[in-house]
Amino acid sequence: MAARLQGLMQDAGLSGHELAARCGWHKSKSSRIARGKTLPSDADIRAWCAACEADDHAADLIASSRNAELMYVEWRQIHRDGMRRVHEQTVPLYQRTRSFRVYASNVMPGMLQTPGYATGLLRSITAFQGTPDDVAEAVKARTQRSRVIREGDHRFALVLEEAVLYYRVSDDAAMAAQLEHVLTVMGQPNVSLGIIPARARRTVWPLEAFYAFDDQQVAVETLTAEINLTTPGEIRTYLRAFSELSRSAVRGAEARALITKALAALG
């Protein structure tokens, strides 16, 4: 935050004293903010942007400032007491979201996962992270959270890379049940499911998995952390990427054929 504000000041050709004067502050206040010693309020950010004639940056900066501590959270921290709690904590977010846009490049989206598939996946995550093993409780909590795909006024636009159909994060029986479940869910009127064929010509390269909740938040999943984006500019960028990825996906009979092919590959 300090670096971004300082960059605006430099772009405007202002010194710290000049910026403070334009904002009506004591000269030391701009210095404390620029050095990261003082967290600026929303009003401070608006005044700073106005002084730099960069009002269009204010909304993004305010969103970043409000969510700085929650933006980047390591999985080890999130799962320090196991995985059940985080699933329960995100239920309100899932319930209030009307439009879900999800891009999955590695595993099935959480709201599509069957208990068997989720058990295999969460057990692997627990072992890799070395966090407390509450897999059974976490699977139950994930299944409860996923009821939103069947209940309430929610719409789901889901885009999967074809490879997701083949990654065996659980045993063959659980994988088969998972793929059959996807075939069932994609028939729901509130679900649009697209699959990007491995050989598809694409305008956007494979990305990290991300979940967009309305146009208010995007959760990006990396190996080590969950990144929660709330700044309007970053959200627009991810929604644009989702739109472009969607163009490469097949749906309906073509998507079903790809899923059926993956099922047959299980033997």
Q: Does the pLDDT value for residue 233 go beyond 70?
A: yes
Query: Per-residue pLDDT tens for 236-262?
Result: 999 999 999 999 999 999 999 999 999
Domain residue limits, the chain: 1-67, 72-265
In contact, 138 and 87? CB cutoff 8 Å: yes
- Structurally, at CATH architecture level, domain 72-265 sits in 2-Layer Sandwich (3.30)
Phi, psi of 135 (to 5 degrees): -55, -45
Helices (H), the chain: 2-11, 16-23, 27-34, 42-51, 58-66, 68-71, 75-78, 84-89, 91-96, 115-129, 135-145, 172-185, 232-247, 252-265
Q: Does the pLDDT value for residue 69 go beyond 70?
A: no
Most confident of 26-30, 60-64, 262-266: 262-266
Query: Per-residue pLDDT tens for 124-159?
Result: 999 999 999 999 999 999 999 999 999 989 999 999
Q: Does the pLDDT value for residue 2 go beyond 80?
A: yes
pLDDT for res 157: 98
Q: N- to C-terminal Cα distance for the chain?
A: 54
pLDDT for res 67: 67
1-67 domain in CATH 1.10.390.10?
A: no
pLDDT for res 124: 96
Fold agreement (1-67, 72-265): no
Predicted TM-score of the model (pTM): 0.79
Q: Say which residue, 70 or 89, is predicted with more confidence.
A: 89
